[in-house]
Amino acid sequence: MSTHESWVEENEVLDLIRQDHRWIDVRAPVEFAHGSIPNSINLPIMNDEERRLVGTCFKQQGREAAIELGHHLVSGKNKDQKIQSWLDEIKKQSPNISLFCFRGGLRSQISQQWIMDQGVRIRRVRGGYKAMRALMTQYLRQQLSKTSVRLISGPTGSWKTPFLQWLVDEKHLAIDLEKLAQHRGSAFGKQGEQPAQVNFEHAIVKAVLNSEAQYDGHTPLYLEDESRMIGRCVIPDFFFAKMRSSPIIWIDEPLERRVDNIFHDYVEQTDIVKSQDIFKIQAVYQGYKDSMSGIKKRLGHEKYTEIMKDILSAESESVSNGIHDSNRVWIQKLLEFYYDPMYLTSLARRNPVTLIKATTSEIKSFLSK
């Protein structure tokens, strides 16, 4: 092995992540799927099966035998293809690219050496993924400890997410956790495939890093008042504890306005309007019905049956005539029967400090003073 190894040191990691540095993750695909560093690409030195065989050999025969098997498995055309994939990525990103394995050990060392043998230099991360993840978690804890948090609260349909965007546009410090989780945070909130839990946590760190220039010890961080879980993504314990101990800003909009908001987000912005394809329209309504199944127990049989009947009626109208106001019927009942009682019960149990309870426009005026 060459003695001219080049490292990314731990004190550089956060700055590089902030700068959207590119990373080659040479761990196996199964490891990468569990989570990686923002802006990483998985170009493994061993695939899942190769890693499994080498791991079994290590347990049964020891380190030297495992290394020998690894070199045997990743050799010839297999080795050439992997080296070429690294070189192609380095060529696209150089010099803003580095590589890592799990602990900064043998896999990244061998990958780096094979790349260097081609006359190309690349750095590898000292301590690897494990050290990088620890640094990111430690940073988030430290940043939260010196930052005041304000929660944007309000019952379903208050348009808290657009309000967060208004805060960003007005140069306030705000992070949209639902956007990072790719989920709207309700039974009806699924927005495609959610990130792995680790990637969700790392996305929070990246968002804080990107906003770091605004942190001065006095500027509050605004977040939406979330449950511990956003879809299947879990807010880290220490982060959630900070949220739960923070005061709220309560957006208090009338029921009719909230029904309009949900109608816009969950009906007008779907294939019910965008498509004349009956099958796509039916797929939208199937999504509503699937979501209803998830809350059937809490709703109770009678209310569940009533709302489902309204959804089926709205589906029939929408298939025949396009978007239809009958959707507002089931939306309003869902708010009155399910979401509003759940929100008010949770709020009463927590009894948070309320900085202001008012309409969106009134709160905007309050925060603009």
Residue-wise DSSP of 55-77: HHHHHHH-HHHHHHHHHHHS-HH
In DSSP terms, 234 is beta-bridged to 229
Q: What 3-state DSSP class applies to 234?
A: strand
Cα–Cα distance measured from residue 345 to residue 210, given in angstroms and rounded to the nearest whole number: 35
Q: What 3-state DSSP class applies to 250?
A: strand
Residues 6 or more apart from 45 whose CB is under 8 A from it? 26, 74, 82, 101, 107, 110, 111
Is 57 catalytic? The answer is no
- Amino acid of residue 238: F
Cα–Cα distance measured from residue 305 to residue 295, given in angstroms and rounded to the nearest whole number: 12
Cα–Cα distance measured from residue 12 to residue 184, given in angstroms and rounded to the nearest whole number: 34
Backbone angles phi, psi at 241, to 5 degrees: -60, -40
Using alpha carbons only, what angle is made at residue 127 by residues 125 and 133, rounded to the nearest 5 degrees?
Answer: 90
Q: Which of 17, 43, 99, 101 is catalytic?
A: 101
320: which 2 tokens?
């025949």
Give catalytic residues, as residue numbers: 101
